[in-house]
Amino acid sequence: MATRRAPQRAAPAAARAVPLPEKLAPQLATLVAGPPADPEQWTFETKFDGYRIMARVESGAARLFTRNGHDWTSKMPELARELGALPVQAAWLDGEVVILDHNGLPDFQALQNAFDGRTSKIMVFFAFDMPFCNGSDLRGVANEQRREALSRVLQSAGGGRHRFSEGLDARPQELLATACKLGFEGLIGKRKSGLYVSRRSDDWIKLKCTRRQEFVIGGFSDPQGSRKGLGSLILGARERRLPQLRLQRGLRV
């Protein structure tokens, strides 16, 4: 099958013509206690509960790398084939791989089961940035422009296992409350004028949902290796409708 190609567009003025790098470290978000004082200068997206993946696409083939640079292409062959068919000659895409439950929410346990071969559910790649595209280095281009370029690429390719991480249009306080109520991890905020840097940056922030839960300590294990004091705890949590305790898997301390 021939690889689809998007209509050629002029690169943004700040883009530089460069060969596609073999490796690329992702930009990381800084955890903050609350929304920024100038929310109009930011865009907000859902914080997905999945695996961060950097996709290198070149000449109809894609390689998928973890946040730490490990090649996981063989773990996600179908997703790699679909991303390789995107209408670009060469690009780096930044995103999150998730599995969605019947309510459309990320299911991290199902994702882990998929890697263990215990489920046939479809992995979905939510793309939220494109640092390189068709010979242009977009890292020096404002976040808004990079996302516009990414949106055009994904829209021209249609749906499937890859989707665009849409921006959310409301006050960040309201967005965070809704995200927490629906069961998401929180929000990611990105400065509209921010550049792409391969490190933790204040131009990307994360607002996390805080949850509280009371547990009963049912036991502990002795420390092993370099650990001192305790190895792990056995915790119990009360079910809402049942008086008995439900054991949780060991929590390492």
Distance of CA 63 to the CA centre of its chain: 16
Q: Which of 23, 47, 192, 208 is catalytic?
A: 47
**Backbone torsion region of residue 132, taken as left when φ is above 0, otherwise alpha when ψ lies between -120 and 50, otherwise beta:** beta
CA angle 69, 116, 112 (to 5 degrees): 70
Residue 23 designated active-site? no
Of the candidates 196, 251, 188, the one whose C-alpha atom is nearest the C-alpha of residue 12 is 196
Catalytic site positions: 47
